[in-house]
Amino acid sequence: MSSLGRWGLHAALLALLCCSESGEAAFEVHIWPERLVVENGGSRTVNCSTSCANPDTGGLETTLEKTLLEDQPRWKSFWISNVSWDSVLFCYFTCAGEQQSKSLNVSMYQFPQQIILQLQPVWVTLGKPFTIECRVSAVKPLESLTLTLLRGKETLHSQTFNGGATDPQEARVTFNSTASKEDGLLNFSCQAELDLRSRGGDILRNISENKVLQVYEPPPENQMVIIVTVVSVLLFLFVMSVLLCFVFGQHWRQRRMGTYGVRAAWRRLPQVFRVQHM
């Protein structure tokens, strides 16, 4: 209601401004397309036209590179090239000494050339945390971007961004999760989507390479107990056998040494008797 009222007021003001002096019907200026979004460095055709039957002058004001393609009394078409920034085009015509103009916002867009997905770590134990990170190279407009982290076809996390005057710029999304069995069976991927519909464009999409998470499953607890027991017993047997070898070895050496000792004593014995006899 209020917007309608404002529109009415606006129209009345316009009528007052343009036609109060001459009393002529106002002529119109049109620009086509009504919305324009162009890829970085791209080019488009723009058409300026008027309802004035016999305009004095007309043209297009722009800071972008322009080439006049066709020049007709009631319309002119231009080739706008190398669109490298956002800008406003002004289309104007003069009719019976009066000028009218119409503006067109031109948005430049840049779809990310790279979409890089990383899983950190790549090997993870079941139930332990891991991080999914997706980075995209320079993108514009940032507020039209949505990054979606996928496991198979399922959406794990989706993020939109707040635009800034500094775009094109890189964007990043991270998501923390804990490893489940499914994580090891499905591919992870990251989808970048640039929705340019509000600016007169389409939805652009691309997807990263697939990444795989290696989920390591620890053996169940009772199995673990068996393994630990077996290892302990083997270790015990090994230690015991080493100990026994050592003890028997020592014993055998002593016995051998002991035998020699007794023999030596036996050999010495007659000598002693001999000395005693002499």
Ligand X SMILES: *[C@@H]1O[C@H](CO)[C@@H](O)[C@H](O)[C@H]1NC(C)=O
Q: What is the binding site for ligand X (CB under 6 A)?
A: 32, 41, 47, 49, 70, 75, 77, 82, 84, 105, 186-187, 210
Q: How far is the CB of 34 from ligand X (least distance, A)?
A: 8
- Per the structure block, which two tokens stand in for 155? 């959406």
Using the minimum distance from each CB to ligand X, give the nearer residue, 32 or 175.
Answer: 32
Q: Which is nearer to ligand X, 14 or 237 (CB)?
A: 14
- CB atoms near residue 205 (< 10 Å): 13
Nearest to 194 by CA among 135, 110, 138, 83: 110
Q: Which residues contact 186 (CB under 8 A, 6 or more apart)?
A: 151, 152, 154
Least separation in angstroms between CB 134 and ligand X = 16
Note the helical H segments in 20-130.
none
- 48 vs 171, which CB is nearer to ligand X? 48
Q: For residues 18 and 75, what is the distance between their CA atoms, to the nearest angstrom?
A: 21
**Cβ nearer to ligand X, comparing 62 with 159:** 62
| Alpha carbon distance 27, 25 (integer Å) | 6
CB of 20 to ligand X, least distance (A): 27
CB of 3 to ligand X, least distance (A): 14
* Closer residue to ligand X in complex, CB, 31/136: 31
Instruction: Work out how close the CB of 109 gets to ligand X at its nearest, in angstroms, rounded to a whole number.
Output: 15
Contact 161, 171 (CB under 8 A): yes
Rounded to a whole number of angstroms, the minimum distance from the CB of residue 47 to ligand X is 4
For residue 9, report the phi and psi dihedrals to the nearest 5 degrees. -65, -45
254 sits in the region (left: phi over 0; alpha: psi -120 to 50; else beta) called alpha
Nearer to ligand X, 47 or 158 (CB): 47
